[in-house]
Each structure stands twice: as structure tokens, then as C-alpha cells.
Chain A
Amino acid sequence: MNSKRPVNLDFRTIKLPLPAYTSIIHRISGVILFVAIAFLLYGLDLSLESESGFNSLKQLMQGFFAKLIVWGIVSALLYHLVAGIKHLLMDIGIGEEKESGILGAKITIVVSAILIIIAGIVIW
């Protein structure tokens, strides 16, 4: 007899509701921000070091890929911020029902998408 019991936890078979996806993205955007802070601090350090450091960073930031990365980091920040505000509202009892939870998730996605597009326009 097989004494080690299997566990059914195959994510391809589990259907998650929308609020679960917004929660996962919230977590992922947090990890991205955590990692990105190291690079941003390095950039800040470089810019404060000397005038030539500031100029070389400024030069670097003009590149397409640099802008793309900055946009990515800002996007993670904006999503994390919007989802975080939704969490604060839930803490005071708003959006804790089944329907309002789904509505909250939809609003989170729409608002952050709009902010991310605006951020893209500002960066370019």
C-alpha cells in the first residue's frame, strides 16, 4: 500500500475568480518593486556622485529600453498603489461581499490601466 497520500493542487485545473488574479498581480508587483529599488538607488547614487555621473545617467535614460524599464517599474508601482488602496477600503468594510469584491477587482484593473497609460505618455 502506498502510504504517502497525494494532494490535488494542480493549478491548471483550478479556476480562480477575478479578485484572486488581482491579488496575485498585487503580490508580483510588490516583488518587482522590491527588486527595482536596488537599481533605482544605484541610479540615485550615480546622479549625486558627480556632475559627470549625473550626465551619464541622464544620457542613459534617453534610451528606448531604459524608458521601457522605467515605465515597467512605474506600472508596478501604480498597480501596487491602486490595489493597496482597495485593501485599505476593505479594511473599513467596503468591498467585502461577493459582488462588491468582483467590482472592486474590476475597478482596480481599470483604474491602474488608465494610470499606466498616462504614465507611458508622460515618460515618452
Chain B
Amino acid sequence: MLVSIYRYNPDVDSVPYMQDIQVEIPAGKDLMVLDVLGLVKEQDATLAYRRSCREGVCGSDGLNMNGTNGLACITPLSAVVTNDKLVLRPLPGLPVVRDLVVDMAQFYKQYEKIKPYLQNDTPPPAIERLQSPADREKLDGLYECILCACCSTACPSFWWNPDKFVGPSGLLQAYRFLVDSRDTYTEERLSDLDDPFSVFRCRGIMNCVSVCPKGLNPTRAIGHIRNMLLSSGT
């Protein structure tokens, strides 16, 4: 199989280029894209990419595979390869540090902005803050986000305004804390988001929903935030 990989080494290259490498795929096996990267690295040890858990939990190996973002470790070749060719590029829109490794600073900054931790100004109870099963259920589909950045780097609104638009991933997390019954800073959180860019740059394109490797739905979470902003009238 022909693998075409985005290569860029800041010490040597002035511009990135595509490197074509022929890789022997063991017959009868549907390898994951991450396995193919391993085979490429055996041929060319200078290739750089991020990986850790290799099972879709850590969120390190987000890549653009044949034009679609996803996690290399849980994407089988059968799901992306067409015409026996695999094109691997770094996540779109973020600065490239080297080869397939991108600088995630901009993405994390947006995550930091939404204050991704419980805020509660009531006195802490002796043991722990309790939550009813019904309230706990509201966090399903939100807490599972692993911050792999596949969604935000598939979002045109985030490409054009990575500094002002929080992005699908950050907004999914924002809603996770807005809807948490143990968090008492709902009003403050909403007023932090109440400007023309943070939430409202979302145009409902839904690229985020189509690429999320965990099957989550940032578009719906953003809709909920918009409704909360409307009804709170902050």
C-alpha cells in the first residue's frame, strides 16, 4: 500500500512536503492506521507522531487520514483507505511542530477559558457533594470527551477564529459544567460566553459531529448553551 505522509522538520525544511512510502500490509489483517505508522517508522526512524494508549482513550494520535480527522489507533484501514492509498496529514489549522505533531496550545487555551472544573460557593459537605442519578445522567455524552482536538480542527469557524471562538470541544466541556447540578457558577459561566464569538461563531456546519471518534455531539451541546444564554438573558 502507498502511504503518503506530511513531512516537516523545522531544522532542515523551509516548507513541508509529502513523502511517499510503500508499506507491506500483512495479508488478511485489517490494521489500524497507527500500526501502519509503526511500519513506516521501521523504514524511516525520523518520522515524528504522537501516540500513547493505542486504544482510543488518551487522545494523542488525532490525525487527518485521507481527508478526515480521527484517531489513528482506532481507525482501521478498511474505514479510510481508497485505491490502496493512505494520505496522512497533521490535524488541520494548528501550527505544525514537526511531521504529524501539531502545537495544541491554542486548543488548550480555549479549554482553559471555560474553567473546566467544578465551582461551588456553598460550604463543602462532610463527605462529598451528592448528585441524583437523574442529574448524573445529564453528564452522559459530555464527560467522555478526551480532548483529542479532532472536532475543533475540523471546524471552519475554529480555523478562522481559533483565538476567539471556543470551538466544539471547549463548548462541549463548557456545557458539561453548565449542566452539572453540583456547580453553582452557572450565571458567571454564561456571562463569560455571552459575546459574538465564543459561542455564536458556530454556524451549525456539524463537521465536529461527523468526526468525533467518541461519537459525541458538540453541535447539540452548543444548541443547549445558546438556549441557556437566551433564557438567562445575561
A residues whose Cβ falls under 8 Å from a Cβ of B? 1-3, 5-10, 13-17, 19-20, 23, 27, 87, 90-91, 93, 96-98, 101
Contacting residue for A13 out of B14, B64, B204, B223, CB 8 A:
B64
Contacting residue for A23 out of B11, B91, B94, B205, CB 8 A:
B205
Cβ-defined contact, B223 with A91, below 8 A: yes
Sorted nearest first, the 9 A-B pairs with minimum C-beta distance are A15-B67, A5-B95, A17-B210, A23-B205, A96-B220, A19-B206, A2-B10, A101-B206, A8-B90
Q: Could you list 29 examples of A-B contacts with CB < 8 Å?
A: A1-B10, A2-B14, A5-B95, A6-B95, A6-B96, A7-B93, A7-B94, A7-B95, A8-B90, A9-B92, A9-B93, A13-B87, A17-B206, A19-B206, A20-B205, A23-B203, A23-B205, A23-B206, A27-B203, A87-B204, A90-B204, A90-B219, A91-B223, A96-B209, A96-B220, A96-B223, A97-B220, A98-B206, A101-B206
Interface bits B81-101 vs A (CB < 8 Å: 1, else 0): 000000101111111110000
Q: Which of A2, A10, A93, A96 has the most CB of B within 10 A?
A: A96
Cβ-defined contact, B90 with A90, below 8 A: no
Cβ-defined contact, B210 with A19, below 8 A: yes
| CA–CA, A19 and B87, complex, Å | 23
B residues whose Cβ falls under 8 Å from a Cβ of A? 6, 8, 10-11, 13-16, 64, 66-68, 87, 89-97, 102-103, 156, 159, 203-207, 209-210, 215, 217, 219-220, 223, 226
Using Cβ atoms and an 8 Å threshold, which residues of chain B touch A14?
64, 67, 92
Asked, given contacts A8-B16, A13-B67, A96-B217, whether A90 binds B6 with beta carbons under 8 Å apart, the answer is: no
Asked, given contacts A5-B103, A7-B96, whether A93 binds B207 with beta carbons under 8 Å apart, the answer is: no
Cβ-defined contact, A8 with B203, below 8 A: no
| CA–CA, A91 and B225, complex, Å | 11
Using Cβ atoms and an 8 Å threshold, which residues of chain B touch A27?
203
Number of A-B residue pairs, CB cutoff 8 Å, is 90
Q: Shortest distance in angstroms between A41's beta carbon and chain B's nearest beta carbon?
A: 28
Q: Which of B6, B68, B204, B207 has the most CB of A within 10 A?
A: B204
Using Cβ atoms and an 8 Å threshold, which residues of chain B touch A5?
10, 95-97, 103
Cβ-defined contact, B223 with A93, below 8 A: yes
Using Cβ atoms and an 8 Å threshold, which residues of chain A touch B205?
19-20, 23
Cβ-defined contact, B219 with A101, below 8 A: yes
Cβ-defined contact, B223 with A90, below 8 A: yes
Q: Shortest distance in angstroms between B68's beta carbon and chain A's nearest beta carbon?
A: 5
| CA–CA, A14 and B89, complex, Å | 10
| CA–CA, A98 and B211, complex, Å | 9
The residue of chain B having its C-beta at the shortest distance from the C-beta of A19 within the complex is: B206
Cβ-defined contact, B207 with A17, below 8 A: yes
Contacting residue for B207 out of A13, A20, A90, CB 8 A:
A20
Asked, given contacts A8-B89, A13-B67, A15-B66, whether A20 binds B206 with beta carbons under 8 Å apart, the answer is: yes
The residue of chain A having its C-beta at the shortest distance from the C-beta of B155 within the complex is: A20
Using Cβ atoms and an 8 Å threshold, which residues of chain B touch A15?
66-68
The residue of chain A having its C-beta at the shortest distance from the C-beta of B90 within the complex is: A8
